[in-house]
Chain A
């Protein structure tokens, strides 16, 4: 077992899968010689050659569209879009092609591709480099939307995503790319898509989150235990779509109180859907209105003020206390 950063863990997943399955190809801007702007694909070109690790011309729409074609015809492309803010050039290809091909052809074709996209703020980056717009993709029928929260689950989820018969959008939090290391076993691990994890057990309050926000939420949960004696259960969603309704219901029925934490904008964000699901399945178990601690409905501000935009531990605690109020 090695202690890896999330960058290294994703690299490991790619390398091992490419070794096992020669239909897996990596393509994108600067993924070859440069090893990706975040070095996630470092070393893959050397090991697998330029047919399988493709430095493409600068064209997001073609990167995704070509991946869809490759996937239809039997390859397993893992494409990288450099930043989520650049992914909208390719939106048509994701929404109009990747997501629809199976449905449109009545199952004749499927699109087993993964689109890896760094997302989120907190790294003092430029405009278009700090957004958290997973709702666009989670809202799109036919796409799966996955967001790991650390090295070990990133590796396991990416392996599952690469083996999934349908298109998977795989968001990687820039703020946690190198923020910490975890032990990642050399032998294969997978986490089924659509399955969340309990990151902390507790019986008083359910805190639902994912991605980079999982860490601030866990920190807030520890403080709540220390300061208020509240034992919060923290659910790390891992998959935004499909949502793990079962585990959410189980926890909500136990605690009756919920706070949802995400970096994405508030309105029509993932939190809104989670609340709706809880209302549909567990409304009568609720003891207080569900709280949301989210990014605001503004364009993510330039980096001098991004920490005022991204939920911090104190804001999460405030939200949690509101959820605990009678």
Chain B
């Protein structure tokens, strides 16, 4: 038997529509309607300012550890804006912009970050899973949900999020393989933000792109400029069309950058230099998108100023709301809720013990 080559005709496409100065490639511009563009811009800006306030509040001890989305707003909004409101969304743990787009109230996110389980409640009618902190831990769930949609003949797909580090986890491979094998309507958004805490993208894997990992499963993979909301939108839209037609999943690698800390417990000064951060600051997705909107006369400078003021008030009043709410949440007995549909006797006994103990000790 001779040796012979098995030809693999694969390649990964790279898509970018807005250049670094916010000028679009006219042929590729997805021509998103004005209202959607404005909503995308507003949510990106809101997410950014919300992060900034939260960083301050974290330092003051009002909230605990959290993972800012700063720098990744275009990857998140470009993708989520390209699917329908009743599609499913499965986050990892940094998808603040996505959560805001989906309608999760800021007060809920704040309450969660202040350490209250009540903050994790998902508004009725919103098909979102809660955040999951262990890396790559719920990509498989995204596949399961998509399979259920397919079985129930519902025209809904699942968009799920994870980072560059997640592509090293076994669960990432297992999920993508299952998705292709069962031909499920999934869109996998990999936000390659260049850093998995201290480990840079090039040390995470020797693969030239993360998008190409899809090819091993027979799945299309595309790499896009993740700081360009139009490119992310276009790629996600195409993936959504394929998924809805029954043509299966897509992996989209959004090349972006974590402009802030991994979480507030992290110090990037330990592992990366400021020059690199500055280089990426220049590619900040927000001013770029604003330039595009200004050039298209959809947004004027004075609109941005007014919006900034509006957002500032909105974020501050969300905190006021949460502060008030926290005062009414002093009952720790809620830790016994929602473990099972019916609380077993041994657990009720423990709950009563805690209750009695608190009464005896003026808890």
Chain A positions near chain B (C-beta within 8 angstroms): 29-30, 32-35, 37, 55, 57-62, 85-86, 88-89, 124-129, 266-267, 296-299, 301-306, 308-309, 314-315, 318
Q: Are B357 and A315 in contact (CB under 8 A)?
A: yes
Q: Give min CB distance, B2 to chain A, whole Å.
A: 35
Q: Give complex CA distance A300, B169 in Å.
A: 25
B53 at interface (Cβ–Cβ under 8 A)?
Answer: no
Chain A residues with CB under 8 Å of B64's CB are 124-126, 303
Q: B134 touches which one: A37, A128, A266 (CB < 8 A)?
A: A128
- The 3 tightest CB contacts between A and B, nearest first, are A304-B115, A34-B198, A308-B332
Q: Which residues of B contact A57 (CB under 8 A)?
A: 165, 168, 199, 203-205
| Chain B residues, Cβ within 8 Å of A124 | 64-65, 115
- Determine the chain A residues whose CB is within 8 A of the CB of B65 once the complex forms: 124-126
A267 CA to B336 CA in the complex, in Å? 15
A sample of 30 inter-chain contacts (CB < 8 A) reads: A30-B197, A30-B198, A30-B199, A34-B197, A34-B271, A37-B197, A57-B168, A57-B204, A58-B165, A58-B196, A59-B170, A60-B169, A61-B169, A86-B134, A89-B169, A89-B171, A124-B115, A125-B265, A126-B65, A126-B263, A127-B133, A267-B346, A296-B336, A297-B350, A298-B335, A298-B339, A302-B116, A302-B117, A308-B332, A309-B335
Q: How far is the CB of B205 from chain A (nearest CB, A)?
A: 7
A35: chain B residues within 8 A (beta carbon)? 270
Interface string of B319-363 (1 = CB under 8 A from A): 000000010010010111001000000110010001001000100
Q: What distance in Å separates the Cβ of B173 from its nearest Cβ neighbour in chain A?
A: 10
Judge whether A58 and B135 touch: CB under 8 Å.
yes
Instruction: Tell me, in angstroms, the Cα distance from A23 to B107 when the chains sit together.
Output: 52
Q: How many whole Å from A316's CB to the nearest CB in chain B?
A: 12
Residues of B within 8 A of A129 (CB): 133
Cβ of B252 within 8 Å of any chain A Cβ, yes or no, is no
**Contact of A59 with B134 in the complex, beta carbons under 8 Å:** no
Q: Does B114 belong to the interface (CB within 8 Å)?
A: yes
Interface residues on B, range: 35 or more
The answer to whether A37 and B361 have CB atoms under 8 Å apart is no
Q: Note all chain A residues with C-beta closer than 8 A to B335.
A: 296, 298-299, 301, 305, 308-309
Q: Does B280 contact A (CB under 8 A)?
A: no
Answer yes or no: B175 CB below 8 A from chain A CBs: no
In the bound complex, residues from chain A placing their C-beta under 8 Å from that of B357 are 315, 318
For residue B161, give the distance in angstroms from its CB to the closest CB of chain A.
15
Is B74 at the interface (CB under 8 A from chain A)? no
Question: Within the complex, which residue of A30, A58, A308 is in contact with B169, where a contact is CB–CB below 8 Å?
Answer: A58
Closest Cβ of chain A: how far from B130's Cβ, in Å?
Answer: 9
Q: B166 interface residue, CB < 8 Å from A?
A: yes
Return B226 CB to nearest CB of chain A, in Å. 19
Given A126-B133, A128-B134: A33 touches B361 (CB 8 Å cut-off): no
Interface membership of B112, Cβ < 8 A: yes
Is A29 a contact partner of B197 (Cβ separation < 8 A)? yes
Nearest chain B CB to A173's CB is how many angstroms away? 17
Contact with A along B202-231 (1 / 0, CB 8 A): 011100000000000000000000000000
B225-264 CB mask vs A (1 if < 8 Å, else 0) is 0000000000000000000000000000000000000010
Are A58 and B166 also in contact (CB < 8 A) when A34-B270, A126-B65, A126-B133 are?
yes
Chain A residues with Cβ below 8 Å from B137 are 89
From known contacts A29-B199, A89-B170, infer whether A296 and B133 are also in contact, taking CB-CB under 8 Å.
no
In whole Å, how far is A296's beta carbon from the nearest beta carbon of chain B?
5
| Given A37-B265, A124-B115, A266-B350: A299 touches B339 (CB 8 Å cut-off) | yes
- Give the residues in chain A near B170, CB-CB below 8 Å: 59, 61-62, 89
Residue from B119, B332, B339 within 8 A of A305 (CB atoms): B332
**CA A174 to CA B170, docked complex, whole Å:** 27
Contact, CB under 8 Å: A303 / B115: yes
Whole-angstrom distance from the CB of A137 to the nearest CB of chain B? 18
- Of chain B, the residue at the smallest CB distance from A92 is B170
Q: Given A37-B265, A59-B170, are A302 and B204 neighbors across the interface (CB < 8 Å)?
A: no
In the complex, what residue of chain B is closest to A59 when comparing beta carbons? B168
CA distance A194 to B44 in the complex (A): 55
Question: Which residues on the B side are within 8 Å of A58 (C-beta)?
Answer: 135-136, 165-166, 168-169, 196, 199, 204
Q: Bound complex: CA of A308 vs CA of B116, how far in Å?
A: 13
Q: How far is the CA of A306 from the CA of B115 in the complex (A)?
A: 9
Determine the chain A residues whose CB is within 8 A of the CB of B350 once the complex forms. 266, 296-297
Q: Report the minimum CB–CB distance from A314 to chain B (whole Å).
A: 6
CB distance from B342 to the nearest CB of A (A): 15
The interface centre, meaning the residue of A298, A301, A315 with most chain B CB atoms within 10 A of its CB, is: A298
- A85 contacts across to B, CB distance below 8 A: 133-134
Q: Which residues of B contact A306 (CB under 8 A)?
A: 115
Q: Residues of A contacting B203 with CB < 8 Å?
A: 55, 57
> In this complex, which of B112, B199, B336, B361 has the most chain A Cβ atoms within 10 angstroms of its Cβ?
B199
CB-nearest residue of chain B to A31: B198
Q: How far is the CB of B201 from chain A (nearest CB, A)?
A: 11
Chain A residue nearest to B361 in the complex (CB) = A314
Check A59/B197 contact, CB under 8 A, given A303-B64, A308-B335.
no
A125 to B58, CA, bound (A): 12
A323 CA to B62 CA in the complex, in Å?
Answer: 40
- B347 nearest CB neighbor, chain A only: A297
How many angstroms from the CA of A303 to the CA of B165 in the assembled complex? 26
